[in-house]
């Protein structure tokens, strides 16, 4: 048996309603949102990414959003390490 809590995974194309559904789940359950969108890790990359608004991000904890500058190198291995923290 795993020591990790059960995960709810929401996947779909940009602007398909994943954030809205995740926030609706957050109203019912004690969840945290872990973004696995490769564009959302970058600060200031707000256009064309459907990044959650500040108000949406205030509704529950969000992770792996706005964590690096676009000029910084960031690998899949680093993303994996960050996601497992």
Q: Residue 46: pLDDT above 90?
A: no
pTM of the model: 0.82
Percent of the chain with pLDDT over 70: 96
Residue 76 CB-half CA count within 13 A: 0
Q: Residue 1: pLDDT above 70?
A: no
- pLDDT for 2: 64
Q: How buried is residue 8: exposed, middle or buried, by Cβ count under 10 Å (0-12/13-18/19+)?
A: exposed
Domain spans of the chain?
18-83
Q: Residue 70: pLDDT above 90?
A: yes
Fold of the domain built from segment(s) 18-83: Rossmann fold (3.40.50)
* Residue 38 pLDDT level (bands cut at 50, 70, 90): confident
């Amino acid at each position: 048996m795993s020591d990790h809590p059960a995960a709810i995974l929401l996947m779909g194309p940009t602007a398909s309603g994943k954030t809205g559904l995740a926030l609706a789940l957050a109203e019912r359950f004690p969840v945290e949102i872990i973004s696995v969108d490769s564009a959302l890790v970058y600060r200031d990359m707000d256009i064309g990414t459907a990044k959650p608004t500040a108000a949406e991000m205030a509704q529950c904890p969000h992770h792996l959003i706005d964590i690096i500058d676009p000029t910084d190198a960031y690998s899949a291995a680093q993303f994996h390490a960050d996601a497992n923290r």
